[in-house]
Amino acid sequence: MGKVIDGKAIAGVLQEKMKAQTAYFSMQFGRKPSLAVIMVGEDPASAVYVRNKIRACEAVGINSQSYKLPQDTEASYLIDLIDKLNKDSATDGILVQLPLPSHLDAKKLIPLISSKKDVDGFSAKNIGALMLDDRTGLYSCTPLGIIQLIKSTGINIAGKHAVVVGRSNEVGKPVAMMLLQNHATVTICHSKTESLGDYTRMADILVVAVGKEKLITADMVKEGAVVIDVGINRNAEGKLCGDVDFESVLPKCGFITPVPGGVGPMTIAMLMANTLKAAKRNVQ
Ligand code: NAD
């Protein structure tokens, strides 16, 4: 029987440790680390994510500046706001909650955030830093959290075969790169991969970031594998679930993350860690 990786508990421990660091920062510099959170429109899922991020800020002693902008906000307004926050020395991190309404082009707007304040790690400079193994960069939060969750199992990533399902810029690609950084042999699968199960069955570490309920069934998982389920879906009963058929995979795998309570809380903990990292560099 596999063990369930308690992402919520692991995130809680990390946040508790960060509390001491943010307190020390505040004492040294006379202000808290500060994160600007920009949300445009009323997307209900985004509203929940933003609320959780702001709550986490409160819990670890980070100041949050919340900008809730109307659905019809013009690009020029957002550009001016990002510019103002980039220049504000007391703002350490800037986050624009995605998705943006269709009239706003995230591909054009996100790159305007200074790479030093890009706590989501989405900028070309920060992705480049990851590619070049430059640890001063701000790396994408979800992949950072995934690596911590894998390490929490006690397995040594080096030499293991890691299979990543999904190749998005936010999750699939950066997590593959981080697994490589940790000396895994990495295979990336995606929507055009033929015979997905042939690859997933070879995985000592299986990371699934697709967004399709029950994409991964027990017959696609190697005995004893570490399974990280990144997906967030709603099942027919309206309940949150991941991409992995949890019930059937649990008895076969070595470790598995639940949804909810796995990757999600760690993503937020890593956002806090990135904000603290950006704040320390901002005051140097
Ligand atoms: P995305 O839509 O950008 O990418 C999905 C990827 O899945 C694509 O690269 C695509 O090639 C691949 N794919 C699609 N169908 C496939 C199939 N049948 N077989 C193999 N690969 C297939 O999504 P994303 O932003 O990477 O997010 C993936 C999932 O993770 C979503 O459910 C999202 O909500 C969730 N997510 C969770 C967190 C978290 O903190 N828990 C963070 C980010 C994303």
Distances (CA, A) of 129 to 15, 125, 168, 268: 25, 6, 17, 21
Query: Quick check: pTM over 0.75?
Result: yes
Count of other CB atoms within 10 angstroms of residue 143? 28
**Residue 58, H or E segment:** helix 44-60
Residue 117 has what pLDDT? 98
pLDDT tier, 174 (very low <50, low <70, confident <90, very high otherwise): very high
Give me the chain's average pLDDT, please: 97
Phi, psi dihedrals of residue 218, rounded to the nearest 5°: -55, -40
Active site residue ranges? 53, 97, 120
Per-domain boundaries in the chain: 30-114, 141-264
DSSP string, 83-101: HHHHH-TT--EEEEPSSPP
CATH number of the domain at 30-114, please? 3.40.50.10860
Q: In the chain, what percentage of residues exceed pLDDT 90?
A: 100
Pocket test for ligand 1, best of 164, 188, 210, 213 (most atoms within 8 A of CB): 210
Residue 245 has what pLDDT? 98
Residue 87 has what pLDDT? 98
3-state helix, strand, coil in the chain (%, to 5): 45, 15, 40
CATH architecture of 141-264: 3-Layer(aba) Sandwich (3.40)
Pocket test for ligand 1, best of 46, 140, 169, 171 (most atoms within 8 A of CB): 171
Residue with tokens 């790169």: 177
**Averaged over 137-153, what is the pLDDT?**
98
∠ CA 242-269-68, rounded to 5°: 85
Tokens found for residue 240: 């949150």
In this chain, the answer to whether the domains covering 30-114 and 141-264 adopt an identical fold is: yes
Q: How far is the CA of 266 from the centre of ligand 1 (A)?
A: 17
Which residue's alpha carbon is at the smallest distance from atom 5 of ligand 1? 210
